[in-house]
């Protein structure tokens, strides 16, 4: 099969479009003919080069959001059928979906939303699951609470805005000037142009901050939280004590969850939330896609097309 592989540690310059073996199925796996794969520019900063046991994973295949069609299942798989259109988030310590085929734990796959094409479906799993788990599993966001979402126009942020609005929260987002109207249309009650106005000068007493950026943004966010508020970050762990006597901090890594993907599909098919696809590039332009993602901070996601609408390789 054709695949994008990484043979050495580095950034997008380390990506190579080449032949690779079709992955073998392990117990519990499904083999998916990939139609589209979503990319995460931050993937090169993840600790992906070694297994949890410390063994090198090189060469490896990136891109862990996939949408495609099941072409084979392991003998013990009963809940995924050959021919089914599926989407999902693959295990970060296994090869990803920037390839014509990917082996995925069958339990990590869910039926593709009926209203989406494969590109839209591939833009969904990592971002939507991250937003869902941050807001609902960890922050326990309730109707009427105030939530501040940093990077509101990005992949995670754009889903977080929509999900927080659906939950009935008062939603505040930060974004660049060019994205202020875009984030407002996603459902934010307030949008702050972070290039023009320091958010901490106009925001007070929020119940939850969702930090997708880190650095000084995270540090400046403590002051806007109410007493006993919660800062949830996906960048790196905050100080375990948070801000003494005031707020708590929490870091987490997203996990595949079929039940949540099923609920996300329901909301998408009902027109309540939607993925944002900035652009779709062919698989062989993966290096360009990752470089663009790092450089331009696109709205929503960039997606690699692996199989075209006509069934040919993208």
pLDDT of amino acid 50 = 76
- Based on the domain organization, do 154 and 219 belong to the same domain? yes
The answer to whether the beta carbons of residues 146 and 206 sit under 8 Å apart is yes
- Based on the domain organization, do 208 and 238 belong to the same domain? yes
- Based on the domain organization, do 221 and 146 belong to the same domain? yes
Distances (CA, A) of 45 to 50, 234, 255, 304: 13, 12, 18, 20
Does some domain include residue 163?
A: yes
Of 301, 149, 136, the residue nearest 212 (C-alpha): 149
- Based on the domain organization, do 111 and 146 belong to the same domain? no
Does some domain include residue 263?
A: no
Does some domain include residue 282?
A: yes
Does some domain include residue 258?
A: no
Strand 29-38 to 2-6 pairing: unpaired
pLDDT of amino acid 312 = 53
- Based on the domain organization, do 204 and 109 belong to the same domain? no
Does some domain include residue 312?
A: no
> Based on the structure, what is the number of domains in the chain?
2
pLDDT of amino acid 310 = 44
- Based on the domain organization, do 155 and 92 belong to the same domain? no
Does some domain include residue 264?
A: no
- Based on the domain organization, do 104 and 173 belong to the same domain? no
- Based on the domain organization, do 34 and 81 belong to the same domain? yes
> Rounded to an integer, what distance in angstroms lies between the CA atom of residue 2 and that of residue 55?
25
Does some domain include residue 27?
A: yes
The answer to whether the beta carbons of residues 72 and 30 sit under 8 Å apart is yes
- Based on the domain organization, do 246 and 284 belong to the same domain? no
pLDDT of amino acid 53 = 78
pLDDT of amino acid 45 = 77
- Based on the domain organization, do 161 and 89 belong to the same domain? no
CATH number at residue 148: 3.40.50.720
Three-state secondary-structure class, residue 208: strand
> Rounded to an integer, what distance in angstroms lies between the CA atom of residue 69 and that of residue 29?
14
| Helices 258-269 and 125-132, axial angle in degrees (round to 10) | 100
Does some domain include residue 72?
A: yes
pLDDT of amino acid 240 = 62
> Rounded to an integer, what distance in angstroms lies between the CA atom of residue 182 and that of residue 157?
12
- Based on the domain organization, do 45 and 83 belong to the same domain? yes
List average pLDDT for each run of 10 residues in the chain, which is 314 residues long: 93 94 97 97 78 84 97 97 98 95 98 98 98 98 98 97 98 97 98 95 96 93 93 87 72 96 98 97 96 91 81 51
What domain range is 90 assigned to?
2-124+275-305
């Amino acid at each position: 099969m054709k695949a994008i592989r990484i043979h050495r540690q580095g950034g997008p310059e380390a990506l190579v479009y080449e032949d690779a073996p079709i992955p073998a199925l392990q117990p519990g796996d499904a083999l998916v003919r990939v139609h589209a794969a979503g990319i995460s520019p931050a993937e090169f900063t993840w600790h992906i080069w070694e297994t949890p046991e410390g063994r090198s994973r090189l060469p490896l295949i990136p891109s862990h959001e996939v949408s495609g069609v099941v072409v084979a299942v392991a003998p013990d798989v009963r809940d995924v059928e050959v021919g089914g259109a599926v989407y999902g988030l693959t295990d970060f310590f296994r090869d990803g979906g920037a390839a014509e085929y990917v082996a995925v734990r069958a339990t990590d796959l869910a039926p593709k939303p009926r209203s989406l094409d494969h590109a839209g479906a591939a833009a969904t799993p990592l971002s939507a699951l991250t937003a869902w788990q941050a807001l609902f599993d960890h922050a326990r966001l309730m109707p009427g609470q105030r939530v501040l979402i940093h990077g509101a126009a990005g992949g995670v942020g754009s889903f977080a805005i929509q999900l927080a609005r659906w939950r009935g929260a008062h939603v505040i987002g930060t974004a660049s000037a060019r994205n202020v109207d875009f984030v407002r249309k996603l459902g934010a009650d307030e949008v702050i142009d972070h290039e023009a106005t320091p958010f901490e000068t106009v925001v007070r007493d929020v119940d939850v901050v969702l930090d997708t950026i880190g650095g000084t943004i995270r540090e400046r966010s403590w002051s806007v939280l109410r007493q006993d508020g919660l800062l949830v970050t996906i960048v790196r762990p905050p100080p375990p004590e948070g801000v003494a006597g005031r707020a708590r901090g929490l870091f987490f890594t997203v996990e595949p969850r079929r039940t949540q993907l099923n609920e996300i599909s329901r909301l998408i098919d009902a027109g309540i939330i939607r993925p944002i696809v900035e652009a779709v590039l062919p698989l062989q332009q993966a290096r360009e896609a990752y470089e663009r993602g790092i450089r331009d901070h696109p709205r929503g996601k960039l997606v690699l097309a692996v199989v075209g609408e006509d069934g040919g390789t993208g």
